[in-house]
Structure 1
Amino acid sequence: MYGPGRLLVYGTQHILTMYGGVIAPPIIIGGAAHLKASDVALLVTAGLFISGLATLLQTLGVGPVGSRLPIVQGVSFASVSTMVSIASKDGVRPVLGAIIVAGIIGVIASTYFAKVVRFFPAVVTGSIITVIGASLLPTAFTWCMGGNSGAKDFGDPGNIGLAGITLLIIVLISRLFQGAISRLSILIGMAIGTLLAIVTGRADFSGVKHADIVALPQILHFGSPTFQIGAIISMTIVIFVIMTETTADILAIGEIVGTEVDDKRVAAGLRADMAATTVAPFFGSFPASAFAQNVGLVALTGIKSRFAVATGGGVLVLLGLMPVVGAVIAGIPFPVLGGAGIILFGSVTASGIRALARVDYGNGLNLVIVSVAFGFGLIPVGMPTFWDKFPDWFQVIMNSGISSAAISAVVLNIFFNEWKWGNKPGASVFAERENRVEQFGDRLEDDIPTASRSRDRRD
């Protein structure tokens, strides 16, 4: 526990590191749902508010909920592709309904997820994360062109030039500076890009003067959630991917802090994740997950206090109570967002590729899994009308790259690497099953010791 001043400084540093990642998903979903600027501003402030509450719950804990580790929670990028697919067709309400149901399923599954997560090794999660990034990049390109395909200046060289300048600034800051400035490269690049847009008359912040400085979050501002079976199935798949990522982050932060993480602690962390996800739609926000960049910040700075991160969560809550902040963010020009989006979404793809680099491709079976998952996951990107003749519920599932990639990768992984019926010793599938590289280490049971084994070691 540090003094109040240091807690505030260290906590704010965490928020600055993850701020760009929190505000991007609401902006993307708002654009896909064709919401007006004031509604997008509400999505942003709701995302900040829920991220703050989720961070407080994760770090401080309430009973069996919360890992009590220095983990920052925020709106998950993993869910964006699926939510865009739903929102672009039916608006925000079915997205919110699907999140509620999927979140409840996640809360129930949290206790048992340490046993289920073996079905999500690196070959599965790496494929899914790579597809997520690749499927989001077209959104960044649309932003670079102006955001509105019906506008007269869509694709105007001025828009693309502004996006290019923003991207160039981010790249130069990342290369020429180190430490805090480098980690804030995206925010700095967006700020400079926005200033250039104001000077050239390509920015409109007229909505800021009508926004309240302080206001309580609005409950069900977008109306009652609606529940569509296809959307719920897709979102449930996303939730399991998010839980896999959060489990990895909990294990990583436990190792950095020097605290043993057993299955009970993993379950407690996932309950906080899923509880925040379930509540988020009532405030107009989206699924929450642990932010990996903040795990890296803990390792880099050596500031391992969960109370410092909790202070950062308090800062997020305060920002979420200030609609004027959301209005400012909603006014950022699309080309500026596009320049930053290329980096943000590209980094998601890079994270997936990094996970796939740990996979053993020795007998070619994992190569088949990756190939098929990529193929199915990129159908909505390369041929958006591919599933148009199928039933609506089927379209909702398969038109999301993450859902189609996840289904194909999980099923093929079970078929190739888990299902041993009919295999002979020495056969390729059998060998692959025994030598499979897990998401979190050589063997999952070594990474997540049970609570009983933890007590034995302490004794």
Structure 2
Amino acid sequence: MADNEPPSEAGFVEYGIDDKPPLGESALLGLQHYLTMVGANIAVPLILAGAMGMPASATARLVGTFFVVSGIATLAQTTFGNRYPIVQGAPFSMLAPALAIIGVVGSFPGNPGWEVMIVHLQGAIIVAALAEVAIGYFGVVGKLRQFLSPVVVAPTIALIGLSLFSVPQVTSATQNWWLLGLTLFLIVLFSQYLKESNKVFKLFPVLLAIVVAYVVAAVLSVTGFYAPGTPGYVDFSMVTSAPALLPIHPLQFGTPVIETSFIVGMFAGVVASIVESFGDYHAVARLSGIGAPSEKRINHGIGMEGLMNVFAGIMGAGGSTSYSENIGAIGLTGVASRYVVQVGAAIMLVMGFIGYFGQLIATIPSPIIGGLFIAMFGQIVAVGLSNLKYVDLDSSRNIFVLGTAMFAGLAIPAYMNNVAAVDPNIAGPEMLRMGLEGVPLLGAVLGTKLVADTLFVIGGTGMAVGGLVAVVLDNTIPGSDDERGLTVWQAIAEDDEDFQTFFERRGNDGASGSPESAD
């Protein structure tokens, strides 16, 4: 393959990174991007609010805050950060340490309320995120790029999708499989079978599927076919009871409180988030029809995520990171336009202040979200595995590395979940610490709170476990660059000079500076 030859996926892209569809079309496409991640971006604040015992009025404001932070973080990342068309949203990787912090604060004397819990959570996020800023802009992650071959990236990306196969929106024992199946069927119908018959089906398969499935669920709810509380029921009373405007502003919940032990636990979540984002950058580059990200682009992406995590902490949200869901949407629609994502982010930013909007989005039944997850995360798994096209799959060492990394990335998080379920009165990290205390010779070290918290958070993140296992094995087991896929991959990867920051572009002949050749 010739130098800088774009991947074969370039022909699939309907709108490339620098393309700007008409504003009206971009607004719908941007809304579609955000609807793919709405389930997760609502789930995280609702989980946190439930754990803290927030009243309904504060919960509505917390959900709106997450949308405001998501909109601003996405605009910042797509403009000043890595400039990839990736939506930024609430990270699940930081949810485990957040819940652990809430649990510890809740045990403080005097039975502190949610106001005390959230300011401790904010302090931990802000300080841990400052470390992420340093990791990004000092080039720590980018320096590691030379050790990351397709043999490492493939299982890391695949595990981003596989790690969520057991989410309750898909595997709940009371699942409404009819509604989930309808949603999935519509996505497949529009995106695969009808995409050539009309451009609308090709560009808006997810949006169309959500609207049709939601209308069906709403009609069945209004007519009484779905009873309140059952999967698929649409509760419109949530919308009518919502406040019109939400007073969202920095430090709205109080002044952050800094506690060293909480910072350490949250930093473990930040590390897991960094690993996931690294995989996301490679996935979106591949689906956008361009080469693997350069060291410079990776560093600016991680650095900006750190800054936006600091901002999220100041606002009272639970963090911000790259979202895999909208990467899956790129795979289904071929819409990889940065402009589209920015328009969608602006819409979410405004809508975050409107109470009716957040509650309307919250009425989307979980089976519909489950159908989206199957399609979106299935795309991510496939994108990860597609990196193996550069790898010698007749090589026994490659097969061993891939298999071990994938299995470990599924098994270790399952073990951590089992540890956390042993005693509902003891937090998962504490249960792990108690077990590690008895390890011969190393118990005194492994049994410390710092080590146990870090191992629990990273060990519970599939892509982090699989990625770390793959990195160690791929860089210690002998293998040639050709065998590992590095030769071909490096030939199509962008160089550092191919990526220009926002300020470098502005400095080159003003606003009409030289374009990024990779974009």
Does TM-score exceed 0.5, indicating one fold?
Answer: yes
1:347 & 1:312 partners in 2: Cα distance? 18
Matched with 1:424 is none
Alignment match, 1:348:
377
Post-superposition Cα deviations, 1:57-95, rounded to whole Å, max 9, x if no partner, equal 234x3xxx33455x2422155526646764784566665
Q: Corresponding residue for 2:93?
A: 79
Instruction: Determine which of 193, 204, 208 is the counterpart of 2:239.
Output: 208
Query: Structure 1 residues 141 and 272 mapped into 2: Cα distance closer, same or farther (>3 Å)?
Result: closer
CA distance in 1, matches of 2:363, 2:331: 34
State the shift of 1:267 in Å: 3.5
SS at match of 1:285: coil
Query: Which residue in the other structure is 2:506 paired with?
Result: none
Matching residue's letter, 1:11: A
- Partner residue of 2:220 out of 186, 196, 208: 196
* 1:56 aligned residue (72, 75, 80): 75
- Check whether the contact 1:144–1:339 (CA below 8 A) recurs between aligned residues: no
Extract unaligned runs of 5+ from structure 1: 146-159, 420-428
Say if 1:352 and 1:38 are closer, same or farther in 2 by CA, change over 3 A. farther
Residue 408 of structure 2 corresponds to residue 372 of structure 1 = yes
In 2: Cα distance, 1:394 partner to 1:260 partner? 34
- In the alignment, which residue of structure 1 is the partner of 2:478? 430
Query: Match for 1:387 among 432, 446, 465?
Result: 432
Q: Percent identity?
A: 18
2:252, 2:166 → 1: CA distance?
Answer: 29
* 1:362 has 2:396 as partner: yes
State how 1:329-344 maps to structure 2 within 5 Å.
329-332=361-364, 336-338=365-367, 340-341=369-370, 343-344=372-373
Distance 1:229 1:278, change over 3 A: closer
Q: Where does 1:163-174 land on structure 2 (aligned, <5 Å)?
A: 163-174=176-187
Q: Of 291, 301, 315, which aligns to 1:283?
A: 315
Q: Which residue of 1 aligns with 2:37?
A: 21
CA separation of 1:233/1:261 partners in 2, compared to 1, >3 Å: closer, same or farther? closer
- Asked if structure 1 preserves the Cα contact closer than 8 Å seen for 2:187 and 2:206, the reply is yes
2:267 to 217, 225, 233: 233
Give the TM-score normalised by the residue count of structure 2. 0.66
Identify the residue that residue 189 of structure 2 maps to in structure 1.
176
SS at match of 1:211: coil
Map residues 21-420 of structure 1 onto 2, 5 A cutoff: 21-31=37-47, 34=50, 35-59=54-78, 61=79, 65-68=80-83, 71-75=85-89, 79=93, 82=96, 86=100, 89-90=103-104, 96-111=122-137, 112=139, 113-119=141-147, 121-122=149-150, 124=152, 126-127=154-155, 133=161, 136-140=164-168, 144=172, 160=174, 163-178=176-191, 179=201, 180-184=203-207, 185-186=209-210, 188-190=212-214, 192-198=216-222, 199=224, 200-202=227-229, 204-223=235-254, 224=256, 227=259, 228-248=262-282, 251-252=285-286, 255=289, 262-291=294-323, 294=326, 306-332=338-364, 336-338=365-367, 340-341=369-370, 343-344=372-373, 347-348=376-377, 351-352=380-381, 354-356=383-385, 358-359=387-388, 360=393, 362-363=396-397, 364-383=400-419, 384-385=421-422, 387=432, 389-390=434-435, 392-400=449-457, 403=460, 405=462, 408-419=465-476
For 2:40 and 2:31, the matched residues in 1 are separated by: 14
Deviation at 1:436, TM superposition (A): 2.4
Return the letter of the residue paired with 1:418: N
Letter of the structure 2 residue corresponding to residue 189 of structure 1: A
TM-score by length of 1: 0.73
Which amino acid counterpart does residue 239 of structure 1 have in structure 2? S
Please state whether the residue corresponding to 2:246 is helix, strand or coil: coil
SS at match of 1:387: helix
Q: After TM superposition, give the deviation of residue 241 of structure 1 in Å.
A: 1.6
Unaligned runs of 5+ in 2: 1-17, 105-116, 192-200, 423-430, 436-446, 501-513
Q: Alignment partner of 1:430: what SS?
A: coil
Q: CA deviation at 1:319?
A: 0.8
Letter in 2 for 1:348: F
When the two chains are superposed, the root-mean-square deviation of aligned CA atoms in Å is 4.3
CA contact (8 A) 1:26 1:43 kept: no
Cα 1:247–1:201, aligned 2, differ >3 Å: closer, same or farther? closer
**Alpha-carbon spacing, 1:222–1:341, altered in 2? closer, same or farther (3 Å):** farther
Deviation at 1:13, TM superposition (A): 1.5
In structure 2, do the counterparts of structure 1 residues 123 and 281 end up closer, same or farther at CA, with 3 Å as the change threshold?
A: farther
- Distance in structure 2 (CA, Å) of the matches to 1:142 and 1:299: 21
